[in-house]
Structure formats: C-alpha cells, structure tokens
A and B are shown apart, each in its own frame.
Chain A
Amino acid sequence: MNRQPGAIVRRAELRLVLIAVIFAIVGAWTVSITTPKEIAIHWPDLRQTAALSGLVLFATLFWSLTRFSGDEILLPIVSVLAFVGFIVLVRLQPDLTRLDDRLVGLDSRQAIYISAGIVLMVGIGRFFNYWHLLKRYRYTMLLMCIGLLLVTFFFGTPIGGAKLWISVGPIQIQPSEIIKIGLVLFLASYLEEHRGLIGSTWKVGPLRLPPIPYLLPMALMWGTSLVILVVENDLGSALLLFSIFLVMVYVGTGRSYYVLLGLGSFAIACMAALSQFARIGIRVQNWLDPWRDPLDTGYQQIQSDFAISSGGILGVGLNNGQPWRIPALQTDFIFSAIAEELGLLGTLALLALFGLLVARGFSIALSTSDPYLRLVAIGLSASLGVQTAVILGGVLRLIPLTGITLPFVSYGGSSMLTNFVIAGLLANISAQRRRGRIQ
C-alpha cells in the first residue's frame, strides 16, 4: 500500500463533534447555574464535562492524524448521546446523593466509563484487525457466552429481584451486555459459513422443516431465552437476545418464515411463563394498569408516568422537575427524567439520534462487501435499535417494563463500555469497505 505521509482531514466529523461539544458545555453550564443556591456551583462537573469534550475532540483529531478512513457520523452521535446521559446524571446527582448514601459520585464514575468507552471506540475503530480470529474461534466464543450465562445463573448477585449481575471483587459486571456482542459475532460467522444450505429443507410427515443447522441453534436460542426469562427474571435480555437472533437468521437466510415461527413460539412461551410465574404476571399487570397496586409494585411506573406527562411539549427545564421521585431513576428510568425536564422535543430528539445511529449502522452494513462483516454490522446495529425500543417501550408502557439500559445514556459501566465497543466495531467495519473477504 502506498502510504502518503501526513494526516487526512475528517471535516464532517470535526464539525459535528464541535456541535456536540457546544451542546455538552451549554448543558453542563445550564445545570450548574440552575442548581439551587444552597448547593454551590459545582465546578468539578463543569471540569468533567470539559474533559469529556476535550477527549471527544482528541478522538476525532487522533483518527485524522492516524489516517482513519471510517465513518464520520458515528462518533458525533454517540458523543451527544453520552453527553445527554452525563448531563442528566450531573443534574440528578444531588438528588440521588440525598436519597441514598450509596449513590454518591455516580456522575464522576459515569465520566470515567464514558472516557474509557471513547478510548475503546477510537482504538477498536482504528486498530482492530482480528476479524479472522473472531470468525475462526466462534465456538469458543459461544462456549464463553454460555459459560457467562451459567455463572450468572449460579453465582449472580440478585439486584432488584433479577439476577443480572456477577460480582468480581468490587466491580459488578452485567453479562447480558457482553453476551449481546458475543451472540452477534457467533451468529454472523455461523450463518455465513452455512449460507449454502439455505435452499434445502426436509420433511417430517407434512411439515417442511428448516435444515438441521438452522433448526438446532434456533431451538437452542429459544430455550436459552426462556431460561433467561424465567430463571433470571430478565425479560429485557431475553427479548433483546432473541430479537438479535431472529434478525440475524432472517438477514442471513432471507426466510421470513423462520422469523414468524420464532416470534410465534417465543410469544407462546411468554404466555405460558406468564400463567406460571407470579412475578412475570406482576410485570404484565403494571404494564396494563399500575394503579391496581399504586403504592407497591405499580409505584415506580406511576411515578414515571407522572414525570413524563408533567414534561409536556417543552419540558419543565433542567433542574426544575422532580424526576427524583422515580425509584431506580439513573438506570432504567433515566428517559423519564429527560422527558420531564426536556419535554417532548427532547425525547423526540433523543429518539431521532438513536434512529440516526441505527440507520448509520445499516448504511455501513449495506456498503460492506464482506458478507461476514455485513452480518456483524447488521446484528450490532439491530441490537442497539432493539435495546432502545425495548427499554423505551417499557418506560412508555407499550410493552411490559424490562430492566435493561438505554444505550449510551443510562448509568452503568458494563453497558457503556459494551455500547462503545459496538460503536468502535461499526466504525472499524466502515473502514474495511474496500478490503477483501475475511477468511
């Protein structure tokens, strides 16, 4: 390759990142001056925002300097999303501290997670060159994912009624976030390898069944999702993983028949679980009518409804609302806080950003010639889209509430790092457009 000396200019990215930085500084400044008098202006928060802004600027400059030719829209979008989450968390921090001693310094920790995430994204985007390894060792990866699932199942720390976490010393890891990426990588490799079998079906009596290589993982996935749903009480992860699975099988095979079969069977299984397990029944009840038990199980959902509806079109303004009344605000319900204080305009803008991010991911997928990378890109983009839809649908009471995070916005290290890794992988794929097929 004929290397030219010097840098390339990523002009679009730089401009968009500058807008993101202005957004962050204005947001942090707004929070700072609207904080009630008795709590002094919080310079550390402003400094943290400035540091994050500097890091994002450095990221785009670094990509320019190292002649990175990948997508120029991804970094600005995920930066704005992370800034929104961070600024809202800074605004909520005094309330959180007041309500619960254990919630001290979440904003600083989130700043660290975001910084680490950006570094990961920049590094993976520019330097990651091990797709062939990921492709080759797919079963190792699958085993690791199943292993993680089992570890969570047996040694998980139950938080809020669901076993979603593994404690490693002082750090808590949410394995479902990691499994999300592992599943995409495994399926992409697996489906790409077996694409020759697409046309062949076989009959058992009158039934036309898909070929065994499809039937087997589908049955396995179906079972695994149900185990997650029932044993770990984690409807969100089950729904997310199963959706990723269906999307990738559909895109990999082109058969909508499998999707319908999968969706139908998952729905039936959910119905069965609903009638068998009381705690899942409670979720459904809170989804349909939280006022059946307003002071106990329905309380969180009702408080979220109050917050969202109080926001109206323009919102009540940063620091003017009372979103702290919602329990578990910083993770599952951060969207309700945004809805109250930034209003419909804020929530629609946020949704549009997620839509743009997913669209960008699909556009990268379509312009990638390598079928494996294309499948990976579709799987990763779809996972972001589905995760957003599942948590927002839950918060907005379109579907039963699930305990998963809003990508890039919710508080949480596992989620933040994983999503930045996804963004980094997408950026990396976008830079491989003209490369040959990965063996």
Chain B
Amino acid sequence: MRKLLGLLRFALVGVGIGIIGYGLTLSVIGSQGRWLLCLGSGGFLIALGLWPTAHPDEAEESRPTVNVFAAIVFIFGLLALQMARMQIFSSKSLAERTGIDPFSGDVLSNPRAVNGALLIKRGTIFDRNGVVLAESAKRRGIFDRRYPNPNASYVCGYFSPLKYGTTGIEEAYDDQLSGRELVNPIQDEVDKLLGRTPEGADIRLTINADLQETAHRMLGDSIGAVVLIEVATGAIRALASNPHLDPNKLVAIDLDSATAATAYWAQLNSDPQQPLLVRATDGLYTPGSTFKTVTASAAIDSGTAGPTDVFIDNGQLDVDGHIIVEENRPDDSIDQWTLSEGLAFSLNVVFARVGLELGPDRLRIYAERFGFGEPIPFDVPVVTGQISASPDFLQNPAALADTSFGQGELLTSPIGMALVAATLANGGTMMRPYLVEAVIDRDGMEIETTEPRLLRNVVDAATANTMQEMMVNAVESGYATNAAIDGLRVGGKTGTAETGSDMPHSWFIGFAGEKEPEYAVAVVFEFGGISSQGPIATARQILLEAISAD
C-alpha cells in the first residue's frame, strides 16, 4: 500500500514535470494563457507528489503551519520556474519581440536588442581642418549621434539604425566608424573585462566646412549642387547639395525621437524639392553646353580639328531635316568661327559640325573616357550617367549633332562634370575623386591614409593645355567673363541644358589657379534659367575662397 502510494507520488511528479516541460516549449507570443495553465496544473501535480507527509513525532497542531510553509515554498518554486522561463528558455523570443500598436501603428521593439550600434561610441567625422561634422555622445546610457554643422554635416550621410539605416560616409565607412574593422580579439576581450565602451575610429574628410558654407551662401534658396575638386589630387573640397536633409532629425534612439524621425521622413518624402536626393552625387542632369569641352577635347586629341580651325555658322544647320538653330552668336553678321570662339561663345552649330566630323565612335570613346556612362569610383555611391539611352542613338547624324553640343540623351551628375573640368585642368589625367582623407584610431594614429590615385589618362597633356587656353579664353573674352578673378588664371564653360520644361538647368564648370589650375568646380542650378550668372558667381566665389584659404 505504501509502495503504491510512493509510486503514485512518483508518477504525479513525472506527469507534472512533463506538463511544465511541454509548457516551456510553447511560444512566448500568444500563449500566455496556455503556459499559465501548464504551470498551474503541472505545479499542482508536482506539489501533490512532493507535499510533506506527517512526521510520526510531529505534533498535530503544527500540521497547518507546515502546510502553509509548503504552500509558500510551492509558490516560490513557481516563481523560480517563471524566472527560468523568462531568462533562459524564452529569453530570446521575449527580448526580440516586436509589435505594432493597433491604435497608432507605431512599432515597439526592445531598444536593447536592435541598437547594438547605439552602444558603441561611434567615431567622429571631421572636415580637413578638424571641424566636427558628426560625433557621438552618451545620452541616457546609449550613444546619440549629433551633426553640428548645418552646411557640411549632411555630407556624411545620415545614421538612423532604428529607422532608416545609414547612408553616405556613415554607411561606406561603417566598419571603421563602429570599430568593427579595428577589432583585435585580444584587445576586445581586455576592453570587455575593463568595461570599456567599444569605440570606433575617427574619420577626416577632404571637405572644407568653410567652403561648404560658401557654396550654400551662394546657392541660397536655389535648388542645385556645387562640387569643388583639388585638381592635383582629386580630393573633394566641397560637395554641396541644396536642399538637403538634416541628419540630426533622423537619428532615432528612443521612442520619442523615433516618432519625430518618422514624421520628418514623411515630410522629406512628400517635399516636391526632393531633399532626400543628394544632388551633387546622385542628381542626373543633361550637361548642356558644358559638354562642348568633351567634344572639343575629342576633336583636338584625335586631330580632327584644332582650336583655330574655322567652321561655318550662319545661324542654322540642317542635319537630315533636323534643324539646329544658332542663338548664341555674339555677332550675327559673322559666319565663320574658330573652334576656340565656338567654345567661348558656345556656338551649337560649330559643335554640331565638329561632332559630325568626329563621328559617333570617336565621340563615344572620348565621352566614356571622360566618365560618361562609366561608373565613377568614389567613397560614396555616385549615380552613373549616360551618353545615350540606346547604343545606336549616335548612329543617327541628327542625334550625333545634338549630343555634340550637350543635348541628345546625355546625362551626368555634378561630380561627373566636375571631374571633366578637373581632368582638363590636371593635364588630361583623371584623378580618382575621394572624400575620406584619413581614418584615425582612438590613440590618434592614422591607420588608413588615402593616397591620390590616377584613374586614367583621358587626353594628352598637349590637348589638355590647349583646352585650358580655350576655357581661359572663354572667361577672358567669351560668355563667362563674370568668372574672372584678378590675379588668377580662370578657365570655364557655361551651360544651359534644355529640360523639356520651360526652365533649363544652368551650369558652369571651370578651374582656377595662380599659374597652374589648382581647383576645378562644377555648379548646377536646377531649372536655373537661360542665364548662367548664378552658377558663374558661385563658382568664382568658391574658387577664390579655396585658393586664398591655402
């Protein structure tokens, strides 16, 4: 009888453990009721099986006391089981649970789980003179990212790990900034033991925050972009886009800032001016007349035409029935123009004739060498332009003629156009553009330093020198005279790109230096109108300040 009772108790405990074990396998989501039922019934069976039996010596009156104590121990046992469930068996799914608020639609998730990125002291991003563009500071136990410079910080991209990811330098150099790249496993363990916060490396950009401010001052409210390149190295000194986002407003670190970020994101997306588009690198524009520098370079470099060769321009040109009307002649009584004058006065008919002489294949080869339709290697992604949408487009003489003076199906980015100017200013060799000057570890050591790298030889040095003279001529006696700077040698080319709408984009590309070109620039005002005076003034000012800053 006693044996039987013992067996029964044993069985009760076994079944109880089984029920609770089954309960532990239940998902933590949506089965709270079933789990409580398992825990309650299983616990009850175990308690029945293990309940203390009366000891022979025990006074009968102390029996209730023993029962009460056993009940409390039983309840504590249930608490311990629940702790084990929450902290071992279901801890992962409980900690990683996310849900949507049925009333507001906002997402709630464990702030600890998602934001490993916010637990690291992310590296600081400086401009080349040590001005802070992005930095992390501890706030409420996690690292918040601040972008203190309103005109330059956005060049870093944005950092929004809880909401919208990362972009720009923040994304491209995430491994360095977050310290993942630097991790030496031993150092990592030592840091953990000492409770040191993981720290990322700092980054020094080639950007000059002062020039960035100049660019924005000159752009004002106009939509557009400014790209300034140091000619000899390819270092980007200014990379301005207007309008742009405020990266401070996207750094979501908690519920409040995430809500604000959501609202800001919606506002950015509905803004007709598209502030999310980083125009300097991601904006695609028809180059218009600035492309004439490419056509002229191709003609000179291939020996098709020289700067003093004369072309007929009597007001219009009929290419297979496609009439090109000349509106740019400074003097309508003159019918003969040199290539150099054609560039200075941006004569479309002259360049249509040059292009027809070059032929589709040579124009395409040179355009590709200047970076049209070619991916541009850079520290952040750059949109790839095009010579034409379809490969056969240039085979049509009318299309070839249009392309030669910058229309047709040509598309490029402001940085792509700045590279054209920089290549010509640099004796025909294209330097790889770069934005990151150095990566610096937390002891102040430069662990990566960017060396200027040659990307490719585009045209001969002689061709480039001729082109420089022609562009200087355009500033001295052509349509770009407002770009001239006393004491400096300035060359440039204006552009007005037909857009299909009433207002064309207005362009200026150019370079300046005391003797040799030091900086090259490209400026575009989106739908800026026929006059290139805005871009010219912007380019002049930023070239002037860049050179006097050195």
Q: Report A267 CB to chain B, min CB distance, Å.
A: 13
The answer, yes or no, to whether B86 is at the interface (CB within 8 Å) is: yes
Please tell me if the beta carbons of B65 and A378 are within 8 angstroms of each other in the complex: yes
Q: Is the CB of B91 within 8 A of A351?
A: no
Which listed residue, B68, B76, B94, touches A250 by the CB 8 Å rule?
B68
Partner of A396, one of B33, B82, B110: B82
Let me know if A294 and B87 touch, CB within 8 A. Answer: no
**Structural contact, A351 and B79, CB atoms closer than 8 A:** yes
User: From A252, which residue of chain B is reached at the shortest CB distance?
Assistant: B64
Contact (Cβ within 8 A) B103 A293? yes
User: Quick check: is B462 within 8 A (CB to CB) of the other chain?
Assistant: no
Residue A48 interfacial (CB < 8 Å): no
Using an 8 Å CB-CB cutoff, how does the interface string of B23-34 with A read, 1 for contact, 0 for none? 000000110110
B90 located at the interface, meaning its Cβ lies under 8 Å from any Cβ of chain A in the complex: yes
Measured between beta carbons, the chain B residues less than 8 angstroms from A359 are 69
Docked-complex contact B108 and A294, CB < 8 angstroms: yes
Q: In whole angstroms, what is the CA distance A236 to B79 when docked? A: 17
Q: Can you name the residue of chain A whose Cβ is closest to the Cβ of B254?
A: A325
Closest to B75 in A: A389
- A311 in the interface (beta carbon within 8 A): yes
B64-82 residues with Cβ-Cβ distance < 8 A to A are: 64-65, 67-69, 72-73, 75-76, 78-80, 82
Q: Which residues of A contact B88 (CB under 8 A)?
A: 312-313, 344
The listed residue (B33, B79, B86, B92) touching A288 by CB distance below 8 A is B33
A51 to B197, CA, bound (A): 32
Contact B69 A306 (CB under 8 A): no
Query: Is B68 a contact partner of A309 (Cβ separation < 8 A)?
Result: no
The answer to whether A311 touches B72, judged by C-beta atoms less than 8 angstroms apart, is no
| B87 engages A398 (CB within 8 Å) | no
How many chain-B residues does the 8 Å CB contact rule pick out? 52
Where chain B touches its partner, the secondary structure class is helix
| Contact segment of B137-145, B175-183, B429-437, B521-529 | B137-145
Instruction: Please tell me if B392 contacts chain A, counting CB pairs below 8 Å.
Output: no
Distance in Å: Cβ of B113 to nearest Cβ of chain A = 7
B140 closest partner in A (C-beta): A98
Contact of A351 with B111 in the complex, beta carbons under 8 Å: no
Is B101 an interface position by the 8 A CB rule? yes
Note all chain B residues with C-beta closer than 8 A to A250: 64, 67-68
In the assembled complex, the Cα of A397 lies from the Cα of B35 at a distance in Å of: 11
Contact (A36, B72) CB under 8 Å given A289-B32, A291-B99: no
Asked if A310 contacts B112 (CB within 8 A), the reply is: yes
Q: Mark B83-113, 1 if CB is under 8 A from A, else 0.
A: 1101110111011010111111010101111
Q: By CB atoms of chain A within 10 A, which of B82, B83, B92, B108 has the most?
A: B83
Residues of A within 8 A of B101 (CB): 293-295
Contact between B63 and A254, CB atoms less than 8 A apart: yes
* In contact, B140 and A344 (Cβ under 8 angstroms): no
Instruction: Say yes or no: is B443 at the interface (Cβ < 8 Å to chain A).
Output: no
In the assembled complex, the CB of A210 is this many whole angstroms from the nearest CB of chain B, namely: 15
Which residues of B, 184-222, contact A by the 8 Å Cβ criterion?
195, 197
B39 at the interface (CB under 8 A from A): yes
- A389 contacts B94, CB within 8 Å? no
Contact B140 A389 (CB under 8 A): no
Instruction: Name A378's contact: one of B68, B75, B80, B97 (CB within 8 Å).
Output: B68
Name the A residues within 8 Å of B80 (CB-CB).
348, 351
For residue A354, CB closer than 8 A to chain B, the reply is: yes
- Give the Cβ gap from A189 to chain B, nearest Cβ, in Å: 18
Query: Is A396's CB under 8 angstroms from B79's CB?
Result: yes
In the assembled complex, the CB of A13 is this many whole angstroms from the nearest CB of chain B, namely 23
When distances are taken between beta carbons in the complex, the residues of chain B under 8 Å from A296 are 103
Q: Which of A1-56 contact B (CB under 8 A)?
A: 33-34, 36, 38
Tell me the complex Cα distance, A406–B394, Å. 82
Cross-chain contact B76 with A251 (CB below 8 angstroms):
no
Closest to A335 in B: B83
Is A89 at the interface (CB under 8 A from chain B)?
no
Instruction: Select which of A34, A289, A305, A309 is within 8 A of B195 by beta carbon.
Output: A34
Asked whether any CB of chain A lies closer than 8 Å to the CB of B62, the reply is: yes
Identify which of residues 322-380 in chain A touch chain B, using a CB-to-CB cut-off of 8 Å: 322, 324-325, 339, 343-344, 347-348, 351, 354-355, 358-359, 362, 365-366, 374, 378
Contact B140 A354 (CB under 8 A): no
Contacts of B92 in A (CB 8 A): 309
Q: From DSSP, what is the main secondary structure of chain A's interface residues?
A: helix
Instruction: State in angstroms the CA–CA spacing of A388 and B78 once bound together.
Output: 13
CB-CB nearest in chain B for A386: B72
Q: Which of A38, A385, A388, A392 contacts B138 (CB 8 A)?
A: A38
Q: Is the CB of B78 within 8 A of A398?
A: yes
Indicate if B445 sits at the interface (CB-CB under 8 A): no
Q: Does B320 contact A (CB under 8 A)?
A: no
Please report which residues of chain A, range 234-267, place their CB below 8 angstroms from some CB of chain B when the two chains form the complex. 247, 250-251, 254, 256
Query: Is the CB of A109 closer than 8 A to any CB of chain B?
Result: no
Q: Does A382 contact B (CB under 8 A)?
A: yes
Residues of B within 8 A of A348 (CB): 80, 83
**A382 in contact with B72 given A292-B102, A396-B82 (CB within 8 Å):** yes
Say whether, besides A295-B101, A378-B65, A288 and B112 are in contact (CB < 8 Å). no
Contact B108 A351 (CB under 8 A): no
Task: List A contacts of B78 (CB < 8 A).
Answer: 393, 398
* Contact A324-B87, Cβ < 8 Å, known A295-B103, A295-B108: no
Kindly state whether residue B36 has any CB partner on chain A within 8 Å.
Answer: yes
Given contacts A36-B138, A95-B141, A310-B110, contact A351 B76 (CB under 8 A): yes
Q: How far is the CA of A291 from the CA of B100 in the complex (A)?
A: 8
* Docked-complex contact A362 and B65, CB < 8 angstroms: yes
B87 touches A344 (CB 8 A): yes
Q: Does A269 belong to the interface (CB within 8 Å)? A: no
State the CA gap A321–B95 with chains docked (Å): 13
A322 to B30 alpha-carbon distance, docked (Å): 26
Residue from A322, A386, A389 within 8 A of B142 (CB atoms): A322
Is residue B61 within 8 Å, beta carbon to beta carbon, of the partner chain?
Answer: yes
CA of A288 to CA of B28, assembled, Å: 11
Query: In chain B, residues 34-66, which have Cβ atoms closer than 8 Å to a Cβ of chain A?
Result: 36, 39, 61-65
Q: For the complex, what is the distance from the CA of A36 to the CA of B142, rounded to whole Å? A: 11
Assuming the contacts A310-B110, A365-B65, asked whether A294 and B86 have C-beta atoms less than 8 A apart, the reply is no
A398 and B106 within 8 A (CB)? no
Assuming A309-B95, A343-B87, A398-B39, is B112 touching A321 (CB within 8 A)?
A: yes
Quick check: A396 and B86 within 8 Å, CB to CB? yes
Task: Tell me the smallest distance from the CB of A180 to a CB of chain B, in Å.
Answer: 16
- Pair B79/A309 contact, Cβ less than 8 Å: no
Interface residue A114 (Cβ < 8 Å from any Cβ of B) = no
| Alpha-carbon gap, A398 to B83, bound state (A) | 10
How far, in angstroms, from A312 to B94 measured CA to CA in the complex? 11
Q: Digit string of A272-312 for contact with B (CB within 8 Å is 1, else 0)? A: 00000000000000011101111110010010011011111
Smallest beta-carbon distance B250→chain A, Å: 21
Q: Which residues B147-182 have CB closer than 8 A to chain A?
A: none
Asked if A397 and B32 make an inter-chain contact with CB atoms under 8 angstroms apart, the answer reads yes
Q: Chain B's nearest CB lies how many Å from the CB of A397? A: 7
Q: For residue A339, which residue of chain B has the nearest CB?
A: B87
The closest CB in chain A to the CB of B255 belongs to A295
Q: Shortest distance in angstroms between A347's beta carbon and chain B's nearest beta carbon?
A: 5
Q: Which residues in chain A, 202-225, are within 8 Å of chain B measured between CB atoms?
A: none
Closest to A396 in B: B82
| A317: B residues at CB distance < 8 A | 195
A-B pairs, top 3 by smallest CB distance, nearest first, are A309-B94, A309-B95, A344-B87
> 19 A-B Cβ contacts within 8 A?
A98-B140, A251-B64, A254-B61, A287-B32, A289-B32, A291-B97, A294-B99, A296-B103, A306-B94, A309-B91, A311-B91, A322-B111, A322-B112, A322-B142, A339-B87, A362-B65, A385-B75, A389-B76, A398-B82
